[in-house]
Structure 1
């Protein structure tokens, strides 16, 4: 099992490649909200990467409808959000809760009345943008 020191060391080592990854994202397609890239690990001999990000949302902030090329697995560290996933009823997610979104599934987020922090891990194809806008 990976301990905290091993994880932090791996995260710091992976951070070196983040600038290259960010250059692959299509800025024109990406919704306008700040993601802090924390770590990226590429699968050897594979076409996938695991990307760890954090995002802070202001009270009442809305994240426009978008999708990702791979699986999103997220955890709400602080605050609460309302998650709207295409084809499913809205879901209120509070601090300490997690959720997952399948690849290429349109979704949006409405933040609650206080600042929220989302920590997300994505398993995505290396040559695809992390975030793609989807019309409302």
Structure 2
């Protein structure tokens, strides 16, 4: 027979295990999977597109090092982040700030202590993946 203490201990362990599994699964998503695509406009011809996306970040969330095949122009709608761009000192970005990242430049993002929302516009070649992970 299961005692109350045994039941509570088992339930607590199951809850913690489930939370850690969900966190690990979220961390293993690629940066592109976390993006919400808002709009896409193709330029005349068949080479470039303009893509508008939104990214919501949980407190303390880290977007791993990655790059894009074209220019990224972003606006931080809420929260605060630390942006690490290869070859440059870390940049602290606050709500209302904008930033740009050149094509094929490795970078990563670490969110602050509250939820943040980034709205980004990409000018990219049509047939290339929007996000490419870069080993550290």
Structure 1 and Structure 2 fold alike (TM over 0.5): yes
Q: Deviations over 1:59-81 (max 9, x none)?
A: 00000000000000000000000
Unpaired runs of 5+ residues, structure 2, are 1-28
Q: Could you tell me which residue of structure 2 aligns to residue 102 of structure 1?
A: 102
Q: Could you tell me which residue of structure 1 aligns to residue 122 of structure 2?
A: 122
Q: Deviations over 1:41-72 (max 9, x none)?
A: 00011400000000000000000000000000
Q: CA deviation at 1:126?
A: 0.2
Could you state the TM-score of these two structures normalised by the residue count of structure 1? 0.77
Q: CA deviation at 1:31?
A: 3.4
Task: Tell me the distance in 1 between the aligned counterparts of 2:113 and 2:135.
Answer: 25
Q: How does 1:78-89 map to 2 (within 5 A)?
A: 78-89=78-89
Task: Tell me the distance in 2 between the aligned counterparts of 1:33 and 1:109.
Answer: 15
Detail structure 1 runs of 4+ shifted over 3 Å in the superposition. Answer: 29-33
SS at match of 1:110: strand
Task: Tell me the distance in 2 between the aligned counterparts of 1:30 and 1:43.
Answer: 27
> Comparing both structures, which one devotes a greater share of its residues to helix?
2
SS at match of 1:128: coil
Larger Rg, first or second structure (1 or 2): 2
Q: Could you tell me which residue of structure 2 aligns to residue 45 of structure 1?
A: 45
Asked if structure 2 preserves the Cα contact closer than 8 Å seen for 1:33 and 1:63, the reply is no
| Shift in CA distance, 32/103, structure 1 to aligned 2, threshold 3 Å | closer
Could you state the TM-score of these two structures normalised by the residue count of structure 2? 0.77
Task: Tell me the distance in 1 between the aligned counterparts of 2:32 and 2:122.
Answer: 18
CA-based RMSD of the aligned residues comes to 1.4
